[in-house]
Structure 1
Amino acid sequence: MPSRPFPLIQTVPVAEGTPEFVELKNSIVGEFVAKVPEELYIPQHFIDSPPKNVTAIPRQCGILTQQELDITENHDAAALAGLIRKRVLTAVAVATAFAKRAIIAHQVSCCLVEWFMDEAVQRARELDEYQASTGTTVGPLHGVPISLKEHMPLAGHYSSAGYVSTRVKDTQDCHMVAILRKLGAVFYCKTNQPQSLMHLETDSPYGRVLNPHNITLSAGGSTGGEAALIALRGSVLGIGTDIGGSIRCPSGFCGIYGFKPTSYMLPMHDFLHGGAAAELNILISAGPMCTSLRDIDLFMETILSQRPYLADPRLVRIPWTGLTTNVWTNPIKVGIMMDDGHIQPQPPVTRALDWAKARLESFKNFQVKPFKPYRTAEAIKLIRKAYWPDGGRGTKHHLQETGEPMFALTKHIIEDAEGPELTASEVHQQRLTRDQFRCDFARHWTEQDVDVVICPVFVGPACAHDTAFYWNYTAFWNYVDCPAAVVPTPVKALKKGAEDYAPSNKTPLSEECKHVRQLWAEGDFEGAPINLQIVARKYHDNELLGTLHTMLGEGFFSFA
């Protein structure tokens, strides 16, 4: 028996539910904790008096060796693959380092739902033995540790659709996981996701994921566990899903790279047991979350090299050129969208947009111009209703099955759609409305005469817990199905009271904008990183990566 309870920092508790549900939840958490040896518990003083920024704790806690610190802090996935291939590092050393760091990261952020270090090390040992006996690797990801979001089926492990009642132990890998395993990836943990999978904050019955840069703030959602884990360097490459911002929002909140491809670019067969009714009209995308631009490219290239469209006919066959893509024009025409016409972003986001504009204007390969927003408020109303064609009945049923409480953000996201289940004709009308909107927006984009758009990721920095209400800056691009990358900037939120809205934008654009200003006045966002979102037209994913590569060549990312 451990000499003390499992250490876990939590700042704002989540709702408990019925006594029967609490017992069930505690048994699941107890199963998780039982697998963690006490020598990997961080010192208690970090729990009793945690710093606001916990990113230094993995280095300070004394658990990781110097080599493990080097492995986890100084390499991206592409570099790790190269070092293992050249036998500078063993797969066992890499798996051990990241598994240890992942469980440390969990103790300061609540980012995991499963942790299986022994299994990962055994797989890594097999890979090392294969390399030693054959002189080659099993694939381009040989020995690279990859973290997975909870709902993605991994043989021998649990998945859920965002409710405890849907938790099952899977007997086989989903399509993408099977491809990654074949390419040599090592799996070692699964990450936390929110109730219903439909929050821009990751608050589950297992706990609330904290933002490593400021634990009073959210890590985002729904792939918030991944984002926090990567920000703490307990992973360098994970997989997210995105139907309203679930890759981009947490990536932005936690200051990492994230990419939402156009729908049906990457394989998602069996990603979610029973599927999602929202996909009748709004398609989910899957994509990488990572620590470098080249790892986005590595992930896309390696997955698509396996021709997943042969097994899943839904997928669109577009050869991947990624960072090597020749872009459309010279100079590249970049539209800057300072606000969406409905909610002006909070001051640090505006500061980051100003930074990007000035930086791009100094580069010869870019022409910068304003981009006018397009009917954002209308698009958000339409997408919120399209998410729940059953009127929210499925969510309520799943919660009632176990006595799981409905969280505040679950109530918030279903409220626009609550009511009777839509008829087939009503769902069809939603599709007609969506398609007409997309055509209208395509004409708007053409009139703006830009190749890509740079805009906010969210209405502000990472938000305070339970206040991720406004999905405008991400969900709009889901509605029109455009690919988008989220990239770090050098801008961080300052101490409370150090900056405010500029005199030129003192008047709120809407009641929602007024509320966002209130949240800014009430919040403490110190240290929160500010990312920006770069968007291209539908299925211009390669051209988007080519543009990012040109930005890289010009030094746009030189601060990172």
Structure 2
Amino acid sequence: MTAASSKLAILQPKGFPQGTPEFEQRRGAILEAFAKKVPPELRLPVDLIASPPLDVSNIPSTCGILTPREVDITENYDASGLAEAVAGRQLTATEVAISFSKRSIIAHQLTCCLTQWFMDDAIEQAKELDDYLEKNGTTVGPLHGVPISIKEHIPLAGTYSSQGSFASIVLNEKDCYMVSILRSMGAVFYCKTNQPQTIMHLESTSHYGRTLNPFNIHLSAGGSSGGEGALVAMKGSVLGIGTDIGGSIRCPSAFCGIYGFKPTSYVLPMKDYLAHSFSAELNVLCSTGPMCRSLRDMDLLMRSVLAVKPHLLDQKLIPIPWTGLKTSNTKPLKIGIIENDGFIDPQPPVKRAIAWARERLSDPKYSDTFQVKTFKPYNAEEAWSMICRMYWLDGGQLAKDDIVSTGEPILSLSDWIWKEAKPHGMLNAEDVNQLRATRDEFRYKFVDSWNEQDVDIVIGPAFVGPACAHDTALYWTYTSLYNLVDYPGVVAPTPIRTEAKEQYATDYRPLSEACKHVKELWEASNFEGAPIDLQINARKYHDNELFGALAVLKDVLELP
């Protein structure tokens, strides 16, 4: 590869606040170091970046940078298929690593989805795996040669991580536990992906830039695992690892039309994920999980990681054997359909997707398989207010102090997410204890309501709309509810796409001021082309049963 210049053109249709000159100089140095790694032959034409189409999702396969075989490798396999092809020697780990490394950097120029890119390291890892297979006639594990992308805050040896601010950047000398498990199974690491300031926005805008939605660049790719969402949607990754404490796996997956799974807490290991503890987890627990292109890849990740009994080293974990898609369910499967949560009525294309799913599942030919009923989540408005306070037990002041300490600007979504907690300031131990009691009381009422409505799973919106316009990801009610009660959730793609000039129903009446605002946001932007996912949830620690239900739903809801 030939030498690269110190500037790399990245598509950024909307700017964001500038920091102090000193901050911008240091930020520029990071971006320059990244750019120097990208050779000219992997760079898109500057005029394309200057005048892009609305939908950039097909550019990687048509720009001429990838060979036909590299296009085939990145587009026509999921992670399970790649593992099979490498093990069967139809593909080498090296050519797979090269293909995804190249496609990921193309995706980055179009969506700003990466924070770090290390193609040379990936090729070296892959060559070692190929040599091992040649010498031993067997793979090192179930992920042998599978490229896996990693969210920026998750420690990977020899790379940097942060907690969503410039001041928190650290160089990681060793892998966290999850990464070490994946590496031991043969996974190849080639990039890290963008996340937002504070890791607590549903839009991934940080000192690395603003991540764009591949299907409409004027829309968000979601957050906080938005870089993963965009990269998988651009087919620059088959399998990524995200985290979720309010929707951070499910929302970006839904915004980008891919699969995402938030397990119940303490199912998958998160040991050493953050350099410093996050006080929100005193009351709201985070989860880690897969973001990918197929049902079976979510299952592959869960099955592979849990097979090594990670609870033996991460003692927070509950040792639940994984049966996943092979889990049997009682018939008929009782499905609750969520039209709205009683707080915010979803925007038109989401309502179309709900209606589509209800119609499919209510077909008389499935009467012995499904029992479909309307479901109303318990007090979503109270849950939203409660969880916003629980995220910031210090009123957001420590995070703010950390951000401004380097001259980094405070982004509007940071101010938004801690505004509910800010008036309460720093809570003392008894304040936190009382919040926990309130949370537990809510959880009991939630499960009582679930039992009264008598469902096995619920299907509903993943967000108040499709991917939102930049800087308007304000209402996380449809996902954060399940973090508060700690229920597992999958988001899965539908055939529904947002159409131009869709209108609210003539009989629409707002359910709340927030609901009214959501309609105003809809009318202020163009959402054309945005994909729609639906969210499927089950009871706490019924993760296996959730996957068993997905296996039954697969054909009816056209789930790849």
TM-score normalised to the size of structure 1?
0.98
For residues 301 and 5 of structure 2, the distance between their equivalents in structure 1, rounded to whole angstroms, comes to 42
Are positions 1:473 and 2:478 aligned together?
yes
Contact 2:6–2:36 (Cα < 8 Å) also in 1: no
How is 1:448-467 mapped onto 2 (pairs within 5 angstroms)? 448-467=453-472
For residues 87 and 277 of structure 2, the distance between their equivalents in structure 1, rounded to whole angstroms, comes to 38
Contact 1:138–1:184 (Cα < 8 Å) also in 2: yes
Contact 2:280–2:392 (Cα < 8 Å) also in 1: yes
Contact 2:176–2:273 (Cα < 8 Å) also in 1: yes
Partner of 1:91: 93
Partner of 2:200: 198
| 1:468 aligned partner, one-letter code | A
How is 1:402-417 mapped onto 2 (pairs within 5 angstroms)? 402-417=406-421
How is 1:302-317 mapped onto 2 (pairs within 5 angstroms)? 302-317=304-319
For residues 70 and 260 of structure 2, the distance between their equivalents in structure 1, rounded to whole angstroms, comes to 25
How is 1:119-268 mapped onto 2 (pairs within 5 angstroms)? 119-268=121-270
For residues 59 and 356 of structure 1, the distance between their equivalents in structure 2, rounded to whole angstroms, comes to 32
Contact 2:4–2:37 (Cα < 8 Å) also in 1: no
Partner of 1:337: 338
Are positions 1:502 and 2:505 aligned together?
yes
Q: Kindly state the Cα deviation for residue 555 of structure 1 after the two structures are TM-superposed.
A: 3.4
Instruction: Answer with 352-361 or 3-12: which moved more.
Output: 3-12
Are positions 1:378 and 2:382 aligned together?
yes
Contact 2:336–2:373 (Cα < 8 Å) also in 1: yes
Q: What does the per-residue CA deviation read over 1:414-440, in whole Å, with 9 as the maximum and x for residues that have no partner?
A: 111114210000000111111111011
Partner of 2:405: 401
| 1:61 aligned partner, one-letter code | C
SS at 1:403 equivalent: coil
Q: Kindly state the Cα deviation for residue 44 of structure 1 after the two structures are TM-superposed.
A: 2.2
For residues 352 and 517 of structure 1, the distance between their equivalents in structure 2, rounded to whole angstroms, comes to 17
Partner of 2:392: 388
- Select 1:56's aligned residue among 39, 43, 58: 58
SS at 1:428 equivalent: helix
Q: What does the per-residue CA deviation read over 1:482-519, in whole Å, with 9 as the maximum and x for residues that have no partner?
A: 00000000001101x2x212234x11111111000111
| 1:392 aligned partner, one-letter code | G
Q: What does the per-residue CA deviation read over 1:26-60, in whole Å, with 9 as the maximum and x for residues that have no partner?
A: 01111111111111001223112100000011011
Q: Kindly state the Cα deviation for residue 21 of structure 1 after the two structures are TM-superposed.
A: 0.4
SS at 2:212 equivalent: coil
For residues 286 and 550 of structure 2, the distance between their equivalents in structure 1, rounded to whole angstroms, comes to 23
SS at 2:17 equivalent: coil
Which stretches of structure 1, 4 residues or longer, exceed 6 Å deviation after superposition? Answer: none
| 1:332 aligned partner, one-letter code | L
TM-score normalised to the size of structure 2?
0.98
Contact 1:43–1:61 (Cα < 8 Å) also in 2: no
Partner of 1:358: 359
| 2:484 aligned partner, one-letter code | Y
| 2:552 aligned partner, one-letter code | T
Are positions 1:369 and 2:378 aligned together?
no
For residues 394 and 359 of structure 2, the distance between their equivalents in structure 1, rounded to whole angstroms, comes to 47
Q: What does the per-residue CA deviation read over 1:150-192, in whole Å, with 9 as the maximum and x for residues that have no partner?
A: 0000000000010110101100000100000001100000000
For residues 75 and 555 of structure 1, the distance between their equivalents in structure 2, rounded to whole angstroms, comes to 23
Contact 2:263–2:487 (Cα < 8 Å) also in 1: yes
For residues 88 and 478 of structure 2, the distance between their equivalents in structure 1, rounded to whole angstroms, comes to 43
* Structure 2 CA distance for partners of 1:330 and 1:521, relative to 1, 3 Å: same
| 1:414 aligned partner, one-letter code | W
For residues 68 and 423 of structure 1, the distance between their equivalents in structure 2, rounded to whole angstroms, comes to 56
Q: What does the per-residue CA deviation read over 1:514-536, in whole Å, with 9 as the maximum and x for residues that have no partner?
A: 00011111110000001000000
For residues 383 and 291 of structure 1, the distance between their equivalents in structure 2, rounded to whole angstroms, comes to 30
SS at 2:115 equivalent: strand
For residues 225 and 286 of structure 1, the distance between their equivalents in structure 2, rounded to whole angstroms, comes to 15
Partner of 2:556: 555
| 1:353 aligned partner, one-letter code | I
- Select 2:535's aligned residue among 533, 536, 543: 533
Contact 1:14–1:204 (Cα < 8 Å) also in 2: no
Q: Kindly state the Cα deviation for residue 2 of structure 1 after the two structures are TM-superposed.
A: 4.4
Contact 2:4–2:36 (Cα < 8 Å) also in 1: no
SS at 1:215 equivalent: strand
Q: Kindly state the Cα deviation for residue 61 of structure 1 after the two structures are TM-superposed.
A: 1.0
Alignment root-mean-square deviation, CA: 1.0
- Select 1:433's aligned residue among 423, 438, 447: 438
Contact 2:11–2:49 (Cα < 8 Å) also in 1: yes
Contact 1:14–1:205 (Cα < 8 Å) also in 2: no
Q: Kindly state the Cα deviation for residue 4 of structure 1 after the two structures are TM-superposed.
A: 8.7
Q: Kindly state the Cα deviation for residue 3 of structure 1 after the two structures are TM-superposed.
A: 6.5
For residues 493 and 231 of structure 2, the distance between their equivalents in structure 1, rounded to whole angstroms, comes to 16
| 2:116 aligned partner, one-letter code | E
Instruction: Answer with 3-12 or 51-60: which moved more.
Output: 3-12
For residues 389 and 301 of structure 1, the distance between their equivalents in structure 2, rounded to whole angstroms, comes to 35
Q: What does the per-residue CA deviation read over 1:249-282, in whole Å, with 9 as the maximum and x for residues that have no partner?
A: 0000000000000000000000011121110100
- Select 1:322's aligned residue among 324, 334, 344: 324
For residues 215 and 166 of structure 2, the distance between their equivalents in structure 1, rounded to whole angstroms, comes to 29
For residues 36 and 45 of structure 1, the distance between their equivalents in structure 2, rounded to whole angstroms, comes to 18
Instruction: Answer with 315-324 or 416-425: which moved more.
Output: 416-425
| 1:449 aligned partner, one-letter code | D
| 2:393 aligned partner, one-letter code | P
Partner of 1:349: 350
SS at 2:202 equivalent: coil
For residues 514 and 395 of structure 2, the distance between their equivalents in structure 1, rounded to whole angstroms, comes to 23
Contact 1:120–1:186 (Cα < 8 Å) also in 2: yes
Partner of 2:495: 490
Instruction: Answer with 42-51 or 175-184: which moved more.
Output: 42-51
Partner of 2:291: 289
Q: What does the per-residue CA deviation read over 1:398-422, in whole Å, with 9 as the maximum and x for residues that have no partner?
A: 1122011100000000111114210
| 2:273 aligned partner, one-letter code | F
SS at 1:503 equivalent: coil
Partner of 1:107: 109
For residues 503 and 466 of structure 1, the distance between their equivalents in structure 2, rounded to whole angstroms, comes to 28
Q: What does the per-residue CA deviation read over 1:120-178, in whole Å, with 9 as the maximum and x for residues that have no partner?
A: 00000000000000000100000000000000000000000101101011000001000
Q: Kindly state the Cα deviation for residue 7 of structure 1 after the two structures are TM-superposed.
A: 1.9
Counting aligned pairs with the same residue, the percent is 57
For residues 557 and 511 of structure 2, the distance between their equivalents in structure 1, rounded to whole angstroms, comes to 31
Q: Kindly state the Cα deviation for residue 5 of structure 1 after the two structures are TM-superposed.
A: 3.8
Contact 1:491–1:530 (Cα < 8 Å) also in 2: yes
Instruction: Answer with 214-223 or 370-379: which moved more.
Output: 370-379
| 1:425 aligned partner, one-letter code | E
Contact 2:144–2:187 (Cα < 8 Å) also in 1: yes
| 2:419 aligned partner, one-letter code | E
For residues 303 and 116 of structure 2, the distance between their equivalents in structure 1, rounded to whole angstroms, comes to 28
